[in-house]
Amino acid sequence: MAFFRYVAGLLLLLAPLTACRQQNKEKVPEPAPPAARQDTLQVKKDSAEAGDKGDAFVLTEENAINFFYDYQQDLRANKVRLTTGKGSFTVQLYDDVPYHKANFIYLTRKGYFDSTMFHRVVKDFIIQGGNADNMKTSRKRKEIGRYLLPPDTRKGYKHHRGTISMPSSEINNPHMLASPFEFFIVVTNPGSYHLDGEYTAFGKVIEGMDVVDDINQVPVDDGDWPMRNIYILKAEVIE
C-alpha cells in the first residue's frame, strides 16, 4: 500500500482529463518500427453514492486509490460484454491486476462506456475505445470524477493478440499513470510485444475476436479516427 499511497500523492500534480477529440491527451501506443515488431459490487452500498450531505459520490485524485482498493475486495465478476455496431465481444479481466479490473467493472456498471466510440483504429495493430467527441461523454467523466491509475506491469502479462490494455495520460506523467476511461485491444498477430512494460495489460478477449478484427478494418482518416463512428452501444458486466 505504501507504493499506492505514494502514487496517490503524485496524482495531485496531474491535470484533468478531457474527452474532446481535438484535445485528447491520452498517450496511446504506437506501432513498433517494422524491424522491431515480432511479426506479427456494485459500489460499496451507498457510501460510494452519497456523501454526508447527500452529494453524489465523485472520484478524485485523493480518494481513487483507496476507493478501488476497497471496491475490489469483494469483486467476483471478471467478464464484460461490449455490444457495438459491428457485433459483440467479451473480455475477461485478470484478477491479479485489481485496480484496473475494478476500474473497468465500476465504469461499466455506471454506464460510462455506453454510447462512447472506438475513436482510434490502427490497421493490424490496435482498436482504442472509451472516448467520444460529444458533451454526453464529457458530462459522464465529470460526474464520475477526475483520477488516474498507477501502472501494474509486473504481473508478466504480454500484449498478445486480443489483450485489452490501458493507455496512459500524457500530461506531466513520468510514472505512466493510466487514463481510466479508455482502453485498447491488440489486433496484431501474434502480438505487439514492444508495448510490454509500458502499458498495463489487464484482460483479454475470450469471445468475438472476429468483431474486433472487423472494427480494425474500417476506413479511417489521417488521424486514425474511423470515417463512420463505431459506437459501443452497451457494455455490461457478466455476473
Contact criterion met (CB below 8 Å) for 102 and 43: no
d(CA 155, CA 117): 29
Listed in sequence order, the DSSP H helices in 165-208 are: none
Residue with grid cell 481513487, as numbered in its chain: 64
Where does the pLDDT of residue 59 fall: very low under 50, low under 70, confident under 90, or very high at 90 and above? very high
What is the average pLDDT value for the chain, to the nearest integer?
A: 83
Rounded CA separation 93/204 (Å): 7
Kindly tell me if the per-residue pLDDT of 123 is higher than 70. Answer: yes
**Per-residue pLDDT reduced to its tens digit, 188-202:** 999 999 999 989 999
Report the percent of the chain where pLDDT is more than 90. 67
Q: 119: alpha, beta or left, given left = phi > 0 and alpha = psi -120 to 50?
A: alpha
Dist CA 168 CA 25 (whole Å):
9
Tell me how many degrees the CA angle 15-197-110 measures, rounded to the nearest 5: 50
Q: How far is CA 78 from CA 66, 75, 116, 147, 163, in A?
A: 20, 8, 21, 22, 14
What's the pLDDT tens digit per position in 77-104? 999 999 999 999 999 999 999 999 999 9
**What digits encode the pLDDT tens for the residues 149-178?**
998 999 999 999 999 999 986 656 666 788
Closest CA to 115 of 225, 18, 234: 234
Cβ burial 140-153 (10 Å sphere, 16+ → b, else e): bbeebbbbbbbbbb
Rounded to the nearest 10 degrees, what angle do helices 98-109 and 64-71 cross at? 90
Instruction: Specify the pLDDT at position 179.
Output: 85
pLDDT category at 1 given cuts 50, 70, 90 is: very low
In CATH, which superfamily holds the domain spanning 2-23+41-238? Cyclophilin-like (2.40.100.10)
Sign of the CA dihedral running 73, 75, 76, 79: negative
CB 153 within 8 A of CB 80: no
Grid cell digits, residue 11: 496524482
User: Structural domain boundaries of the chain?
Assistant: 2-23+41-238
- Strands 26-27, 232-238: pairing is unpaired
d(CA 123, CA 120): 10
